[in-house]
Amino acid sequence: MMTGLSTFITVLDGLLAGVGVTVLVTLASLTLGVILGFGLALLRQFGGLRAIHFLIDAYCEVMRNIPALTHLFILYFGLASIGFRLSAITAAILGLGLIGGAVTCDLFRSGFAALPNGQREAALAVGFTPLQAIFAILTPQALRIALPSLGNYTVQLLKDTSIVSAIAAPEIMFYARSMVTSSFQTTLIYATVAGLYLLLGLPLTQAIRFLESHYGRLKA
């Protein structure tokens, strides 16, 4: 029993080495994704040019219909073969962030689309410029509507960071896989991994619940 406990502690200790990178990749790609997605949503929703609409739609389709793993391999192995060598962590953040841009673009867009036209018209009628109307009147309301789905996306993203172990970014799953090859505690190691992700997800879910209850859509 004691040896069981001490093996568990060794395993946990080994996995904790990857928590920092997992959190880093999650937060960095979330930031990149949300900024990119918001920018794209604004351009798609309020920008005039047809060509830009087409480009943004094409970008979203390509990003969302191809697995993240394939995107990561293109960025990490593919680009390296033509001379652009990215570090594993950079490729991971860039890959998940670029996909996140397409995912959150859709979430922000449906936020904007849910607002009645009268909001914009009223803002223009009381003398806001079109840009002011977008940023001061429409954006805050659209963000509130998009908040729950952004929360779901964030929880999904935390789990998805585990696949960047495939390009050897040293996060939780990477340490798990290298530990498995040296010890043979496979079941214990992967069960601990599962528990660790659950634990990491808890504060995230709590934070999202807090945000939703404080800034979420106000009941009419």
**C-beta of 82 vs 220, nearer to another protein:** 82
Q: Which stretches of the chain bind another protein, using CB under 8 A? A: 61-62, 64-71, 73-74, 77-82, 155, 159-160, 162-163, 165-166, 173, 176-177, 180, 184, 186-187, 189-191, 193-194, 197-198, 201-202
Q: Phi/psi at 181 (nearest 5 deg)?
A: -70, -25
What is the smallest separation between the CB atom of 54 and another protein, expressed in angstroms?
16
Considering the complex, state which of residue 68 and residue 137 has its C-beta at the smaller distance from another protein: 68
| H-state helical runs in the chain | 2-16, 19-46, 50-64, 68-73, 79-81, 88-113, 117-125, 130-132, 139-160, 172-182, 186-215
Report in angstroms how near the CB of residue 144 gets to another protein at its nearest: 22
- In terms of CB distance, is 99 or 138 closer to another protein? 99
End-to-end Cα separation, the chain, in angstroms: 58
What number of residues does the chain have?
Answer: 220
Q: How far is the CB of 130 from another protein (least distance, A)?
A: 29
Name the token pair of 212: 């939703």
CB closer to another protein, 76 vs 108:
76
What values do phi and psi take at 86, rounded to 5?
Answer: -100, 150
